[in-house]
Structure 1
Amino acid sequence: MDDRPTILVIDDEPANIEIVSAVLEDDYEICFALSAEQAIQVAHAARPDLILLDVVMPGMDGYQLCRIFKADPLLCDVPVIFATALGDDEAELRGLAVGAIDYVTKPIRPATLLRRVRNHVQMKRMRDQLTEQALRDPLTGLGNRRMLERRLQAELHRQAREGGLIAVLMLDIDHFKGFNDSYGHPEGDRCLQAVSASLAQCVRRSGDLCARYGGEEFACILPGTDLDGALSVAEAMRAGVQALGIAHRASQVAPVVTVSIGVASGRCDMGGDNGFWLTGADRMLYRSKLAGRNRVSGQAMTTEPDARGRSQCAPDGSHAPAPAPPPGGEARTG
């Protein structure tokens, strides 16, 4: 698999794309688009590391397209370099004002283009590394709440464009305060690390995310997953944590550490924001706790217009919690 940085070249003249490709193809994976509309589709599919964008194009020009990229949660961090025959200061300032990071003029000077592309790709990768560190929970190594909220926003945006599904899980370690009181906070930290590792083993696809939401609470995002699929993952998580066999003498549920899980799943819509999905999953988590803990509860969601005609998500049904398992036993979804 080619792991070279990807450059998206957008120009309505194929000859210009060929020139740029000849300069960059030895070091970068090149994809291209001949129009703004095509560029939006290619950018979402390729997720480029840098965009080289022509200013003057028929229909939507480069300035308008750059604004769209910068407003898109999936593409807003991708650096944009404008390439144009317009060499005046006003054109350059306008490009920078709409979010471009640099400017090159036509005819392309190969050494200059190669140097600027290399510099900006390297800077983006450094920024990505720093961002990744800032979005990780230092104790568990999972994503933190900020990462989860960013990823959820981006996935809702993407899935809404594609009419796709998403599932959100909220998890809580049962009676964790009692665990800390009984065994001490160092043991509590080791428990959190062990539970985190177990949860992460159940989230294997590249688009999935498991994050520490805060304290003993975790959350997961499963793009493209229906309710049955999400319940299956949640049950694997529940069973996996119980199978760790971490002693918990303060638990009123089982002699070992267990988790309660809530699931919300359904089709995305532009009106379905982070708060709704997280609240839906949290509501199901609360149902699991009320029903005795150490179980999974889930709810399917559908999209309906509200009284003002705006899109929103509404409950479509629920997945009844399993009966309380015996100590050391397994719960069932159903």
Structure 2
Amino acid sequence: MNEKLNHEATESSTKRMIKNMGDIEQKILIVDDEKANRKVLKELLQDQATIIFAKNGEQAIELAKKHVPDLMLLDVIMPDKSGFEVIEEIKNDPVTMAVSVIFITGLANSDDEERGFDLGGCDYIYKPFKANIVIARVLMHLELIYQRKMLDSIAHIDALTGISNRRKMDAVLVDEVAANKRDKKQLLVAIIDVDFFKQYNDNYGHGAGDIALKKVAATFREVLKRPRDFAARYGGEEFVMILPDSNLDGAKLVMNNLMQALADKAIIHEHSQVSRYLTMSIGAVLIDGEQSTSPEQVIGIADRLLYQAKRQGRNQIVVETFFKTQAAV
């Protein structure tokens, strides 16, 4: 009877939590070399989140990078890599370092527990599994993760435009520069300035200016399609765009599409010196992963190229690749 009541209580709290979280989809990566354990955990948790499976450490790392789950249930003892080795790699990768990890183990050892927490684990679940304990702990951490993401989102969203703010941009730039060096790929960073925006505000009013900036921000949502493509309001009428794993042709296409998307909105600007509609200037740098470049240097180069675009007449793109200046496009 008590077991039934506990199960009903857990089920009730589960439904309340899911209702409070709305339609937010969360993902759990279950890592265990025993098929029976994976099956048990799936049956317990499949109603709470999308479940992904890995049967060894290498597969866990690969799937974590691919799916970036909210929570990982990680077996400590596995034949190829231990759970401790896996979490070290997960926590040292900018893409997966925020993934919460619960260790699952059949050994209740205080030294192992201490090591797991030191490496970044958030909890332990012991075998054999007790259904109510597994569900209660997983739900608790999913709710904490959800709340943390909501707070993080609020703290990193620009209140006017609804896209990311300067603080979020600074963090993303650091992570993407590091990832670009590690993966030996190419990263585009661009600063975008709305042309003659002071004159727009002076003549149409700051209320109209705010509406215009919202429309500019909307162009990023329309044009940027890949999951890691990123845009933020840098300050005032300036925006920053970050395109990981890019190339010159692809970057030019995206930037031209961005300018065209703004042109299609046909925002009247009779006091501009380059067009009767609102336009933008872009300074962009494409960084090769082989270059030893800091985030500060990257943003500094993009800023210099933006001013070059302004000096050359505005309403244009100036991009520099591997620190060799390209013609305006």
* TM tier relative to shorter chain: 0.7 to 0.9
The answer to whether the 8 A contact 1:226-1:266 is kept is no
Match of 2:69 in 1: 48
Determine helix, strand or coil for the equivalent of 2:325: coil
User: Measured at CA, do residues 45 and 194 of structure 1 come closer, stay the same or move farther in structure 2, by a change above 3 Å?
Assistant: closer
Q: 1:56-100 deviations in whole A, cap 9, x for unaligned?
A: 345643234323322322222221111112224443333222211
Q: 1 CA distance for matches of 2:273 and 2:291?
A: 42
Match of 2:137 in 1: 116
How far has the Cα of 1:113 moved from its partner? Answer: 0.9
1:125 aligned residue (146, 158, 170): 146
How far has the Cα of 1:154 moved from its partner? Answer: 3.5
Determine helix, strand or coil for the equivalent of 1:246: coil
Determine helix, strand or coil for the equivalent of 1:30: strand
Does 1:236 pair with 2:236? no
Q: 1 CA distance for matches of 2:169 and 2:213?
A: 18
Match of 1:324 in 2: none
How far has the Cα of 1:162 moved from its partner? Answer: 4.3
The answer to whether the 8 A contact 2:280-2:315 is kept is yes
Q: 1:149-175 deviations in whole A, cap 9, x for unaligned?
A: 333334444455544433222101122
The answer to whether the 8 A contact 2:270-2:276 is kept is yes
Q: 1:237-267 deviations in whole A, cap 9, x for unaligned?
A: 2233345443445433334332111122244
Q: 2 CA distance for matches of 1:39 and 1:101?
A: 17
Match of 1:318 in 2: 325
User: Measured at CA, do residues 4 and 233 of structure 1 come closer, stay the same or move farther in structure 2, by a change above 3 Å?
Assistant: closer
Q: 2 CA distance for matches of 1:25 and 1:193?
A: 39
How far has the Cα of 1:273 moved from its partner? Answer: 3.9
User: Measured at CA, do residues 112 and 262 of structure 1 come closer, stay the same or move farther in structure 2, by a change above 3 Å?
Assistant: same
How high is the TM-score relative to the length of structure 2? 0.82
User: Measured at CA, do residues 256 and 3 of structure 1 come closer, stay the same or move farther in structure 2, by a change above 3 Å?
Assistant: closer
1:293 aligned residue (295, 304, 314): 314
Q: Which amino acid aligns with 1:207?
A: R
How far has the Cα of 1:212 moved from its partner? Answer: 0.7
Long gaps (5+) in structure 1:
302-314, 322-332
The answer to whether the 8 A contact 2:158-2:165 is kept is yes
Q: 2 CA distance for matches of 1:222 and 1:126?
A: 28
2:44 aligned residue (7, 10, 23): 23
How far has the Cα of 1:179 moved from its partner? Answer: 2.8
Match of 2:201 in 1: 180
Map of 1:159-198 to 2, 5 A cutoff? Answer: 159-198=180-219
Match of 1:213 in 2: 234
The answer to whether the 8 A contact 1:143-1:211 is kept is yes
Match of 1:148 in 2: 169
Q: 1:171-209 deviations in whole A, cap 9, x for unaligned?
A: 011222333333332232222222222343222333322
Match of 1:77 in 2: 98
User: Measured at CA, do residues 280 and 117 of structure 1 come closer, stay the same or move farther in structure 2, by a change above 3 Å?
Assistant: same
Q: 1 CA distance for matches of 2:222 and 2:80?
A: 48
Q: 2 CA distance for matches of 1:5 and 1:243?
A: 36
Q: 1 CA distance for matches of 2:227 and 2:130?
A: 38
How far has the Cα of 1:213 moved from its partner? Answer: 0.9
1:10 aligned residue (27, 31, 36): 31
User: Measured at CA, do residues 271 and 14 of structure 1 come closer, stay the same or move farther in structure 2, by a change above 3 Å?
Assistant: farther
Q: 2 CA distance for matches of 1:291 and 1:156?
A: 29
How far has the Cα of 1:4 moved from its partner? Answer: 5.0
| Superposed structure 1 runs of 4+ greater than 6 Å apart | none
User: Measured at CA, do residues 243 and 105 of structure 1 come closer, stay the same or move farther in structure 2, by a change above 3 Å?
Assistant: closer
Match of 1:65 in 2: 86
Long gaps (5+) in structure 2:
1-22
How high is the TM-score relative to the length of structure 1? 0.81
The answer to whether the 8 A contact 2:58-2:80 is kept is no
Q: 1:116-175 deviations in whole A, cap 9, x for unaligned?
A: 112211221221122112211110111112222333334444455544433222101122
Percentage of matched positions with identical amino acids:
37
Could you tell which deviates more after superposition, 236-245 or 185-194?
236-245
User: Measured at CA, do residues 226 and 12 of structure 1 come closer, stay the same or move farther in structure 2, by a change above 3 Å?
Assistant: same
Q: 1 CA distance for matches of 2:127 and 2:37?
A: 9
Q: 1:4-33 deviations in whole A, cap 9, x for unaligned?
A: 532222234444333333433454333333
Q: 1 CA distance for matches of 2:213 and 2:249?
A: 27
